[in-house]
Amino acid sequence: MTIPNSNKVYPRSNDYQTVYLKNVITRNNIKVGDYTIYNDLYNNPRDFEKNNVLYHYPVNNDKLIIGKFCSIACGAKFLMTSGNHTMQSLSTYTFPIFGEEWDETLKPKDAWDNKGDIVIGNDVWIGYDAIIMSGVKIGDGAIIGTRAVVTNHVPPYTIVGGVPAEVIKKRFSDDVIFKLLKIKWWDWPYEKIQASIQYIQLGNIDKLE
């Protein structure tokens, strides 16, 4: 049995469009779990931080947190706090970050409404060109449809789609979802997951308990 090299970038030989995302991240304010993949058909997937995590300025101290075994499709975007111009002011113009032009006593963090971190659970599939807005939390096992714009939290094992994204359906019955959230197979050791893949693929929850 061969356990994957935890530092490898490309999961498959001769496929340079897909990366293990954790191993190309350099920013301290982005955290990604093991085996999560990102695929890019047009750009270098190693440039995920630059091309896909937008308006992520250190002044707001917000984080992007992504769990294990997620599948992120080409063009998915994460719009962080600094893309959220404040609506508490009489103007949405970001005067505080242009202090040298207007007033250097203004506080840069007051230019935006900070809705908090984006938190993606485990085993989440984010579709092509989907957009996840700041402050959104997506539960384990959820599916985000192609070009969906996610503005609200998504419950575990729920499929959402559209603009703005709305619930389409749950993936499984409440009983199965409860069992999956209790089992947390993504936290198992590599050997146990490998031995259970056939049951995971066939949807045999009883064999996982």
Catalytic residues: 85
Helix-strand-coil split of the chain, %, nearest 5: 25, 20, 50
Taking only Cα atoms into account, the Rg of the chain, rounded to an integer number of angstroms, comes to: 19
Show the tokens assigned to 184: 């947390």
**47 and 20 in contact (C-beta within 8 Å)?**
no
CB 33 within 8 A of CB 22: yes
Is-contact 150 163, C-beta < 8 A? no
Separation CA 64–CA 78 (nearest Å): 8
Asked if 69 and 187 touch (Cβ cutoff 8 Å), the reply is no
Distance in angstroms (rounded) separating the CA atoms of residues 5 and 187: 17
Pairing, β 37-39 against β 18-20: antiparallel
The type of residue at 193 is I
